[in-house]
Structure formats: structure tokens, C-alpha cells
Structure 1
């Protein structure tokens, strides 16, 4: 094989000399000759090593395809953006949850129907002294939640919380009796929130009586936060009671409420939900509030929010074990 290669190389050199001997521009042809010799040497080397000589269109060998495929795969794995790992089950991002509460229900059927027809789950809170409240509760649409809107003593003496108001000055026995009268006036509710109560909800002794009674009945308490010094959440944390707190009033300034002002409050509620994972807004059965909520609920899921009722925000019950019985 070596003799054949030497013979072919010498014959190539002789042919080059013969071709270039009569040409004028020897420098250019000299470079051409060197190139031609290189090509011939490559062909000869290919023959000697058994490598296939391709004309540029033949398909590469099977081993060559496999190796190149493997190289591409390795490069893809090393490139951070090339492979996006799947999120394991149970670790998918959780949608921020928002609960909407409508207070002061039971006094007007028209107001009740407006909020009862809202497209998403909503918590409807009824005054215990309202004569039509139970009839409305019996007609609450599926998916909505019912709460009792418990009258509690305000700081302002001119502010009337209505009949059956709980006062911080009552003895424990009298307070418990007044509380039970309110709680038994309606049925079909899962929790309680305060109607006014800026004075009462800041009193630890009075709130301990209320929260302990609610806990015995399996009811949660939503603090509407009508004072700068609420105590319910702190008591609930110590005692293990189910207590939640309101984040935003949607229409507190009823004299200037409009759909636009409610939307501004809803935007604030969304910001809190994004930051904390959930938020609770309280509104009232005003026409402007119902209109704004209806529009907002129609697009809440598109913006990444889940509209729920208040009880959906309570922590899950711990599993029962033999040790806990």
C-alpha cells in the first residue's frame, strides 16, 4: 500500500510540472499545484485508512449520525434555556385567594337579590334582628356563604348598632345571654362578623366570651376591623380559635361611593392578595358596589385570582390521631 501511495504522488508531481511548464504566471499556478497536491494526498490518506470518500451528497454513516445526535443532546442539556423541567405535582403555583363579604343584609329584598346574583362565590352577612333575614338565607344561591352580622358596641354613642347590641360593660352572664339570643335568631350560617363594634372588639375580656362561645358552636369569627386596637386575632392565636381579619373596606364612604371608587379598592385588595396569598374585602349592598363586583368577578380569574368564600381561607383542620382523641 505504501508503494502505491508513493507512485501516485510522484505521478501527480510529474503531471503538475508538465501542465505548468508552458504557462506564464507560474506563481499563481504554483499555489494551484500545491492545492492539487494536498487534495490528492487527502484522497490517498483516505484510501489508506479506510475512510469513505464522499462526493458531498452521500448520506453520512450510521455511526456518524448517532455521534452527532449525542453531541447536540449534550449541548442542549448544558444550555440553561434549552430544557424547562416540569413542575412536580403538588408544587404548582397557588392562585392568590380573595373573599368578598357583603354586610348589612336582611333589610331589603332588592338589595339582597342584587348581591345574591353575583357570578362568583360571595359571603353574605345578615343582621340577626332583620325580620326578613331568614327568608333570604333560605334563598341564598348555591356556592355563596352565609354569616351572621353581630351588633357590637361602637365608641361613638351616636352610632346605633341596632337591637341586641353586645356591650363591653355587661357581666359575663348577661353578655353570654345576649350573645346566644343573637346566635339563635338565625340558622344556616357558618361564621360571624361584627357590625360596628369599635369599642367592643378592642376589649379582651368581652371578646374572650364571644370567641369561646363561637368556638364551642364550630363558628369562625371575622373581625371587620373597626378599631385600631383589635384583639380577636391575638386571642384566637393563643386559644386556637378560628379568627380572620378584614383587609379592605370596598365602600366605607357610602356618601361618595361609586363603581369607580369600588374598583380602586378592589385593586388595593388584589395587591394585598398577591403579597400575602389571600385577602378579604367587605362591602355593602349598594347598587354601585354590586355593579363593580359583577364586572370585577368576570375577569378575576384571568388576572390570576381565585374568588372564594371566607371559610375557604381558614387553615385546614389537623389530622385526627389516636393521641389527639
Structure 2
């Protein structure tokens, strides 16, 4: 169980893991980062094995159809798929990486807008006890609404750290992440395995603790969310004081 923390909590998920051998070097980054692995990629299995040895948290980075129809890679979920095709594709990808605790979408600005494929996705996650992190690649996403309908634990990304990889932009986005944690007591960022991002995080992550922030796996924030919801929804006890006639 996630215990309350005095520090404001930050989770950083590094997406797009598995295509390059250099991705293995990300495991040298300090702190409790979470890593989201693309399915069926050349280094996905090796990364998952090494990460698990170091107790690093893993997600499956599921390619989903985008509005720009960009190339998605293996294991992709598309709008042309029927229920069986989508669920078997997702199930096969999950079977190759049993270490993951949840999934998030790779691209997905098209697919996450449609309720039906999100229902099929959440059915799979519910059966497997996995959470959904919405990368929020579109403001019209239906993913969390459907996840709530199916009782799938879910949470969403606040900040993209490295849409622009200049040091100035990375620093600005990192400050925005901390400001979000200041206002909400937690914040979630998504980053990518760019050399500029790795160099920046190597420098910036060790500063967090001294600044009053705790770097945690994203699953800890998911768990905290549902503990707080349960407390909020707990029926209030009623006390009756007997009176004498």
C-alpha cells in the first residue's frame, strides 16, 4: 500500500523503449523512473529483463492509430480492427512482457477518441488487473471515461517534457512539472529516450529530493488516487447520543 508522503510526488514515464540498444543505458538514470516498452521491438525483452532485475517499473507502450496515420510499428491497434482482432493483438503484446503493471498509448490521437475500441481495450486490462495511463495525445480522448466505466484504474499525463529538446525547453517543462506537483501534490510527465533528455534528467533528477519532491513509480500515484477516492466515498459513521426521558 502506498503510504502518505510529506513530499510532493512526481512520476516520470519514459516512452518508446525497445528499438535501440542505447535504450538499455536508460536504466542508469537515477531514481524510480517508469519505462514504457514498445511491443515486439528488438530490445524489448532484454530491457524488461534488466529492468526487472533492478526493480524498475514497466508499462507496455501500445501503438494506437493517430489522426496523422503515422507508421505505428508492430502490435498496433487500429480503427479497422474488430473486437477479436484488437483484443488478441493487445493480449499477444502483453503476453510477451508479463512484467508490466499497466499500459499507455503510443500516439492514439484517433483511436482514443472512439468509445468502442476503448471498451475492448479496457476489457483486456480489467481481466489482467492492469492500469491505464492516458498519454492524452488528444483533448477528445475517451480513454479514462471508458476505463472508469469498466472499473479499470487509470490516471493521465500532465506534462510532455521533451516535445522540444533544447536545454531551455527541457528546463521550462521540468519547472512546469514541479509547479503542477505544487498545486496538486503530484504530477506525471512523459519523456522519450532522446540523448538531450537523458543528459538533462541525469542532471535534474538528483535535485528533486532537496527541493521537496519525491520521484515515484507511476503505479504509486495510481494507487494513491484510488485510496483517496475510497476514503472520500466511505460512508460517514453516525453516532447517536442517548437522551433520558
Which deviates the most, 137-146 or 277-286? 137-146
Q: Identify unmatched segments of 5+ residues in structure 1.
A: 1-91, 320-325
Contact (CA 8 Å) 1:104, 1:284: kept in 2 or not?
Answer: yes
* TM norm structure 1: 0.65
Shift of 1:286: 1.0
Larger Rg: 1
Does residue 290 of the first structure (1) align with residue 198 of the second (2)? yes
Q: Among residues 265, 274, 280, which one is paired with 2:173 in the alignment? A: 265
* TM norm structure 2: 0.85
Deviation per CA, 1:204-239: give whole Å up to 9, x if none.
Answer: 111111012112101111111111111111222333
User: Aligned equivalents of 1:180 and 1:242: distance in 2?
Assistant: 18
User: Aligned equivalents of 2:185 and 2:120: distance in 1?
Assistant: 31
Deviation per CA, 1:190-216: give whole Å up to 9, x if none.
Answer: 111111110011111111110121121
Contact (CA 8 Å) 1:134, 1:187: kept in 2 or not?
Answer: no
Alignment of 1:102-121 (within 5 A): 102-113=14-25, 115-121=26-32
Does residue 185 of the first structure (1) align with residue 96 of the second (2)? yes
Contact (CA 8 Å) 1:146, 1:189: kept in 2 or not?
Answer: yes
Q: Identify unmatched segments of 5+ residues in structure 2.
A: 231-245
Q: Which residue does 2:129 correspond to in 1?
A: 218
- What secondary structure is seen at the aligned counterpart in 2 of 1:315? helix
* RMSD of aligned alpha carbons: 1.8
Contact (CA 8 Å) 2:11, 2:187: kept in 1 or not?
Answer: yes
User: Aligned equivalents of 1:147 and 1:93: distance in 2?
Assistant: 24
The total of aligned residue pairs comes to 223
Shift of 1:143: 4.1
Contact (CA 8 Å) 2:65, 2:72: kept in 1 or not?
Answer: yes
Bigger fraction of residues in strand:
2
**Structure with more contact order per residue of length (Cα contacts < 8 Å, sep ≥ 6):** 2
